[in-house]
Copies of this chain bind each other. A is one copy, B any other.
Amino acid sequence: MADDDIRPREVAVPLPAVTDVGVYFIGRIHTPWASRADCPRAGDAENGPECTIVVAERWRQALTGLEGQAELQVLYWMNRARRDLVIQAPRQNGTILGTFALRSPVRPNPIASSVVAVLGIDGATLRVRGLDCIDGTPLIDLKPHRRAVAVQPGPDELSAQQPVPCRTKDDEPG
């Protein structure tokens, strides 16, 4: 099935005439997968294959201080996905679901978020594990991973966690 096909019971809406703001592609992601059919359903940061993230030269300095981060949140743009479906019919289970109830690439803004394990950083190239996207996918952001607050780690988990610098100038008093 081509990426642009629509299935029975799926619902599309007219897209707005213009977008509201622009995104810069700040690098490229390289994976073993040439098509969406080849991609796994979710990345596996423990056992998935090694992938690389190449940050564009303009943004290279923004990697300063990432050494020692065991995990990163990666945002990327799923540039082959249609954007106009509000109801989707994932083939595997026969039900229909709203787009916001799915992590499908097909959504108004096809932005994916994955948490990856960092294996190494060499210049502007990061070796990581945990991605699930097509080779050549545009990178749009890298962030320290902030763990979900609902998880209450026990003592064993706490000791394994890395400190995450989440501070921003805007968060400061005054």
Contacts and interface: CB of A to CB of B under 8 A. Distances in A.
A87 to B, nearest CB: 6
Interface residue range, chain A: 35 or more
Given A98-B63, A151-B157, A104 B170 contact: yes
Q: Kindly name the residue among A25, A64, A79, A87 whose own CB sees the greatest number of chain B CB atoms within 10 A.
A: A64
B154 A154 contact: yes
Interface string A13-42: 111101111111110000000001101111
When all copies of this chain in the complex are counted, the total is 2
A90 B62 CA distance: 14
Given A42-B166, A111-B111, A167-B93, A103 B157 contact: no
A91 B152 contact: no
5 contacts: A13-B59, A21-B22, A21-B25, A21-B138, A61-B87
Interface of A: 1, 3, 7, 11, 13-16, 18-26, 36-37, 39-46, 55, 58-66, 69-73, 75, 77, 79, 81, 83, 86-88, 90-93, 96-109, 111, 113, 115, 117, 130, 138, 140-154, 156-157, 160-161, 164-174
